[in-house]
Amino acid sequence: MLDENLPTFVLKPSKDKPKQLSTFLFSQHGADYEPSYTVRHLDPDHHASKNRYAAALYDAFSPEVLYAEVLLIPEWTQPPPLAEQARLSGAIPPPPEPILPSEFVIQLYNPDQQIVVRHKAASFNRSASWEFEIPQQTFRAPSGSALDRTQYDPAVSEITPKIVFKWKKDSKFSKDLACFMSGKSTDIEGKGKHRDPDITVSIFKALKELTLYEPNLQRVDIEDLKGFEVVLLLGAVVIRDVYFGSLKDTFNLSAGKKSSPTSPSAATAILRSDTRPQSVSPTHDPRPPSTDRRTQWEIEAESARLRRQAIDEERQRRRREEEEERLTRQLLEREEKEQRRRQRAEIQQETEWLKQMYGREDASARPDLPPRDPRQQRHHSEAGQSAYFQTQQGHYAPAPFANAWGGYPPGPYMSGAASQSSFLAPTPSQQQQIKPKSSIFNFRRRSDQDANKLQRKRSAVF
């Protein structure tokens, strides 16, 4: 508190709904703080609070008495257009963001009056400021003339002198705001004329405590001092919320999805609805949906999200079908392999059974034939080869397996011309054992044999 003797208003948020309700507590000359005004904001969860800002100043003891209100519908940034390929792939541009307003209007009631607060951004050599004008004369003079009643109110007349006020930051790094009276303006030729020096009339300390410089207020030549006080209080609250707060929270960008009011009277209806009893349930809102750029972007974003969701679901469905087909093919391949294995096993079993059956039948059909021993056959073959090599060397080997007639039994090397070869002829010892009977022709036969022997011997030399 700057001075306990000065009129001071302290803004205190509500414990139940701090974002919706706040109270200006008033104190002067060291007295206790008492409620004076109630500040109401839009309910962030209300369907009509989306993409806008509204604040109203009510009487603290009579909630139905509305002094003034402010409604702000922001302008939106224009996002860059997307490429055709990105648009076809379902991409959406970034959301439009609210643009910081260059002015706002305070609507006063009883009598009705509009106070325009214009914002001037900070520059290199000056700080940010918010300037507004209040007419010197607001109320009509009492008159019984019907002609006087047809005239415009002094507050809206262009020839009524206006007092210029300006909110400015106390310093570059401070959040304190100071309101100055800059002078008078007749604005007859469209050019403001300021004749008086700046006079401090109020300070908004830490954006929550507003103090009026009562000695300087005596120099403010304004007929409606109550209206001036309302403009100071509500203007300070709007400047704090809009220009020193987050635009996302200020304009309720995450509020409901239904329509929102587009006029101060609609905002008043919403703000007044907070005073209804809790037992009264809200009715259906018949107003058409809002068509501002942010709402349109949200609709397009939701449509794009639904399209992407449908595409993802279709892709997942295809993946599931492909996975099911792959598993089915693997199952069929395993079943086919198992079937081929069973067939091979059955064929092998049948083959073994046929071998066993027909082998027993062959043995029963030829019972006199002894089974051939492979080792005996191999011994016969080796003996025949040994006799052949001995014949080539000039001498004969005795035949270990001579038959009853003095020759070799038939074997694998005794067929064809080989059976008539010399190494198969009987040996001399075998010829001596086989002697023909004596006859008168023995002499002749011996002579022939001797001649043959001599001839065979003679041919052996040459």
* Residue 186 falls inside a structural domain: yes
Residue that is written with structure tokens 């010197």 in the block:
136
* Residue 424 falls inside a structural domain: no
Q: E strand or H helix at 53, and its extent? A: strand 53-59
* Residue 354 falls inside a structural domain: no
The pTM assigned to this predicted structure is 0.60
Residue 203 three-state SS: strand
User: Which residues, at least 6 apart from 120, have a Cβ–Cβ distance to it below 8 Å?
Assistant: 128, 129, 130, 131
Residue among 82, 69, 165 nearest 117 (CA): 165
* Residue 265 falls inside a structural domain: yes
Q: What is the Cα–Cα distance from 140 to 160, expressed in whole angstroms?
A: 12
Secondary structure letter of residue 276 according to DSSP: S
The pLDDT of residue 296: 78
Q: Is 310 left (phi over 0), alpha (psi -120 to 50) or beta?
A: alpha
Mean pLDDT by 10 residues, the chain (462 residues): 88 89 94 95 85 94 94 87 72 84 94 93 86 90 76 80 90 84 65 68 92 90 92 96 91 58 45 39 42 76 83 91 93 93 92 84 62 54 53 48 47 45 48 49 51 48 42
User: Which residues, at least 6 apart from 70, have a Cβ–Cβ distance to it below 8 Å?
Assistant: 53, 54, 55, 56, 104, 105, 106, 107, 234, 238
* Residue 101 falls inside a structural domain: yes
Q: What domain range includes position 179? A: 8-79+86-138+151-276
Residue 64 three-state SS: coil
Q: What is the Cα–Cα distance from 231 to 385, expressed in whole angstroms?
A: 138
* Residue 385 falls inside a structural domain: no
- What tokens appear for 82 in the block? 């997307």
* Residue 305 falls inside a structural domain: no
Number of domains in the chain: 1
* Residue 384 falls inside a structural domain: no
